């Protein structure tokens, strides 16, 4: 039998769902002219702070064929990381995405399996979906390469770009990680973009503790608590109040109406649940007795203990020096 585009998309979606992804979308290859023009303007205004790698990978972000010359499509995927815990405002706060294991490690394993599944299809069916002769090719990224993941997610119908610059899905909100697979498959049809439903709402803009959302759909990293607590290797400017955050910040997502309880679907991936050292920082009767012990553990952690405890956590990115700096500013 021939492998039709409709059937191929269905079996890819089914496999992605089996692996735990909540949304799968398909976008046709294109040079991201409009998106890269906005990125260039943002860079020219210095809103990237010292994240120089964004500039270095600019051309690849604009045109994925610099990464894969055979690229015909981009498959965008979303993976839910929401867990049924809340921040305890009286304790140091860590962004939800970093409560558990490093999402790169969890999702890369799933993407590897999905890519192998897609690539093996070409050995099972004769396919008219490739230009020229050859096998299906896939190259996957999880927030770890020069890919405009949010732009491709929007084009692939995963959701729309919210005013806080996170992608929002009308059903699942924004508590999800994005991944992409660049492939040489040319599909007959592609996903439709999702309507921007932010409307006149500006809760995320007004709620940002530092005013980092300087305009709708624009974030200045220099003012952003997430940038300052994670990427900044120097001193945090005295006019930046961390508001109790020691790694990342969830305020703009916490206030979003699309992240209300009716949208908060709990992830099926246990690896994203709070680790034993993070659990005491969350709110609830089951963890109350651990709270004081948890904060003491954070404050007294040695560099060796930091390396061991957060070896498989996104928190290791801030380095021990940054960790101690952030804790000091929030105590």
The β-bridge partners of 3 are none
Kindly provide the residue ranges of all beta strands, DSSP E only, lying in the chain, ordered along the sequence: 23-28, 73-80, 86-87, 93-94, 138-141, 160-161, 167-168, 176-183, 245-247, 282-283
Distance of alpha carbon 24 from alpha carbon 88, whole angstroms:
33
Q: How far apart are CA 108 and CA 162, in angstroms?
A: 26
The C-alpha atoms of residue 3 and residue 186 are separated, in whole angstroms, by 12
Distance separating alpha carbons of residues 66 and 62, to the nearest angstrom? 9
DSSP readout, 275-292? PTTTGGGEESHHHHTTHH
Give the DSSP H or E segment for 42.
helix 33-44
Annotated active-site residue in 143, 188, 241, 292: 143
Residue with tokens 């409307």: 199
Task: Please give the Cα distance from 63 to 219 (Å, whole number).
Answer: 23
Q: Are 16 and 114 in contact, with CB atoms under 8 Å apart?
A: yes
Which two three-digit tokens encode residue 257?
Answer: 């109406």
| Rounded Cα–Cα distance for residues 173 and 167 (Å) | 8
Pairing of strands 176-183, 73-80: antiparallel
Structure tokens at 236: 């945090």
Instruction: Give catalytic status of residue 143 as yes or no.
Output: yes
Yes or no: say if 184 and 130 are a contact pair by the CB < 8 Å rule. Answer: yes
Residues taking part in catalysis: 143
């Amino acid at each position: 039998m021939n492998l039709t585009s409709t059937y191929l998309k269905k079996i890819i979606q089914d496999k992605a769902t089996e692996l735990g992804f909540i949304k799968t979308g398909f976008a046709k290859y294109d040079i991201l002219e409009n998106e890269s023009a906005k990125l260039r303007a943002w860079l020219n205004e210095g809103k990237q702070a010292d994240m120089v790698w964004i500039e270095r990978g600019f051309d690849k972000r604009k045109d994925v064929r610099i990464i894969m010359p055979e690229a015909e499509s981009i498959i965008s995927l979303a993976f839910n990381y929401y867990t049924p815990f809340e921040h305890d405002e009286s304790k140091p706060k860590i962004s939800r995405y970093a409560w558990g294991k490093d999402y790169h490690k969890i999702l890369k394993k799933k993407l590897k399996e999905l890519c192998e599944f897609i690539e093996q299809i070409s050995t099972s069916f004769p396919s008219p979906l490739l230009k020229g002769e050859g096998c299906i090719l896939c190259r996957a990224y999880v927030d770890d390469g020069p890919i405009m993941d949010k732009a491709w997610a929007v084009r692939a119908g995963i959701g729309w770009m919210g005013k806080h610059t996170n992608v929002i899905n009308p059903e699942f909100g924004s508590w999800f990680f994005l991944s992409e697979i660049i492939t040489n498959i040319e599909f007959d049809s592609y996903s439709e973009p999702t309507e921007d439903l932010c409307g006149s709402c500006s809760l995320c803009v007004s709620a940002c503790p530092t005013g980092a959302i300087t305009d709708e759909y624009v974030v200045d990293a220099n003012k952003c608590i997430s940038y300052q607590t994670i990427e900044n290797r120097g001193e945090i400017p005295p006019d930046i109040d961390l508001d109790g955050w020691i790694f990342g910040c969830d305020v703009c997502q916490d206030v979003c109406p699309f992240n209300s309880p009716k949208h908060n679907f709990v992830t099926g991936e246990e690896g994203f649940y709070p680790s034993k050292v993070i659990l005491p920082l969350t709110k609830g009767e089951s963890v109350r007795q651990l709270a004081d012990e948890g904060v003491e553990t954070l404050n007294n952690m040695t560099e060796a203990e930091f390396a061991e405890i957060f070896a498989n956590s996104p928190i290791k990115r801030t380095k021990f020096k940054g960790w101690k700096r952030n804790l000091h500013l929030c105590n």
